[in-house]
Chain A
């Protein structure tokens, strides 16, 4: 349970970075040697080792060596440094949106051969990352929702729109994530008040959205960086409302805490990790086979049941029951983070965000 709560915590960064640094570079690889798969350290890696990798080995005969990787950009730097030495720290690994678009622009990832990915069609276009000339470099691996969570003792009638964040009656009662890059509140604001995230394509647009977003500041009691801190406060009713991870909120509710996760009508925030393949990786056939395996409905269902992630494919393809599906996702259209803006306007967003939250 504990590791589940902390699985996306950035604190895992350091440990994972150390583990990755120790992984040996692939100078020569013998046939039949395991491929090195990088997943977010902690609960993610444990679950993958326990439930997913054995299935893959059974299906293909390819052994897997598991590597814990950090969620942040640290992992990108390690890939970059390894590339200078003509090696890669892992053969295939999960990577979040912002570093992914940065790595792609620096040409750090290999273009994948779509003919070897027969299951690619299961994934919608959003889960297929392509560079300017259409080459595929990222394939959706796992995703999860951030929703509006409430304490039902304090707020019996859960709001159904993100607009609640702007509502005066919740003054000093809301908890949200502490960074622009992990709260995706710019996207939430754009979707709630500007009819979608397109407005974020320009700096002016971002400024307008910030203007609107800054109105929630008086309502925010906690800008959290640590999931545990907010979950504690939410369960106890100390901070009765805020954005939180849908799957963990569900687990808390299952344990009897008065926590309700609501998908607002504008959609939950769908954050995800994509599989990428660094330059200089040699066992490309095996890597393609791995990505293909991960894209099957069976594997996606396995992930939903055991890791608690939402499927990156059309849920109808899986054998997940309605309840199982509700535990990890919703049918409504999600808010998809605009990872590109955090690369293009990094300094501007970070400075404006810091000023805004400091009041």
Chain B
């Protein structure tokens, strides 16, 4: 009886989720296996030619590159965000709120805006290189973009606020007496950080990392504005196919590959790290 009532209350939200997520996904899936047709681009069928087109070293290499790049960004942004967030939880509530509002405001900056700001920041005429020249570290100013470093820097910049906000709840809930206990047992602050703070908050670190990974997989502007074509991710190719080449079936097939890629990373990470610890 009670069980049935509980299921019934789930119905409206399930329908919403179904309508907003499942239907578009089903359409993408259907389109990805459609077949070309003379009268109207493509018709729904079961044709794997778009996946066959993907299965060349070029596209596979792109997919692996995207995964590697986003994994690196997830790691770097956590390396920056974690110590900062840890320190942030030690601040007073006022300072905490100010910082959190500032970081939240950062999220409102679009990828486009960030990409172009970094382009200026890394340019020859108005960029960081001029500071190097000023300090005598470089002979004359040079342009730092497009380059892999520029893509990495801007995407990490984009990901750090997310990382902070994802880590903050777990770190602020962390029982401070655990840290004190480790200190009384002879752990230096650094040692305590590595042997207690990080292991205890590991689930939050992993879920933040996975979230950042998936989030940056979808970045399309930064790789194009700050990177060379060899730094373009699978998402850029999807956009090209969908918007410029208008090859919806192939774009859908690439999107399905991207989806499978991120799903398997999430699965692998939770499987490998979630099993042995509570």
Residues of A participating in the B interface, judged by any CB pair closer than 8 Å: 10, 13, 72-74, 76-77, 80, 99, 105-106, 178-179, 181-182, 221-223, 225-226, 229, 232-233, 236-238, 346-347, 350-351, 354-355, 357-359
Contact = CB atoms under 8 A, between A and B. Distances in A.
A5 to B, nearest CB: 13
A229 B246 contact: no
B241 A350 contact: yes
A236 B126 CA distance: 9
Contacts of A233: 123
B247 A238 contact: no
Which A-B residue pairs are the 8 nearest by beta carbons?
A73-B246, A357-B229, A358-B230, A236-B125, A358-B229, A355-B58, A238-B124, A359-B230
Contacts of B228: 221, 223, 359
B207 interface: no
B254 to A, nearest CB: 11
B140 to A, nearest CB: 13
Chain A interface secondary structure, helix, strand, loop or mixed?
helix
B224 A236 contact: no
A181 B245 contact: yes
A72 B244 contact: yes
Chain B interface bracket (under 10, 10 to 19, 20 to 34, 35 or more): 20 to 34
Interface in B206-229: 224-225, 228-229
Interface of B: 38-41, 53, 56, 58, 62, 116, 119, 123-126, 143, 146, 224-225, 228-230, 232, 237, 240-241, 243-247, 250
B230 A106 contact: no
A105 B37 CA distance: 12
A106 B124 CA distance: 49
A359 B229 CA distance: 8
18 contacts: A10-B243, A72-B244, A105-B38, A106-B40, A178-B224, A179-B244, A221-B146, A221-B228, A225-B224, A229-B116, A238-B124, A238-B143, A346-B245, A346-B247, A351-B53, A351-B56, A358-B232, A359-B228
Nearest to A81: B40
Nearest to B116: A229
Given A80-B40, A238-B124, A222 B146 contact: yes
B225 A347 contact: no
Nearest to A83: B40
Most buried by B among A179, A229, A358, A359: A358
Residue with the highest number of chain B CB atoms closer than 10 Å, among A10, A76, A105, A229: A229
A73 B41 CA distance: 11
Contacts of A182: 244
A70 to B, nearest CB: 9
| Most A Cβ at <10 Å: residue of B53, B62, B225, B228 | B228
B266 to A, nearest CB: 27
Contacts of B40: 80, 106
Contacts of A223: 228-229
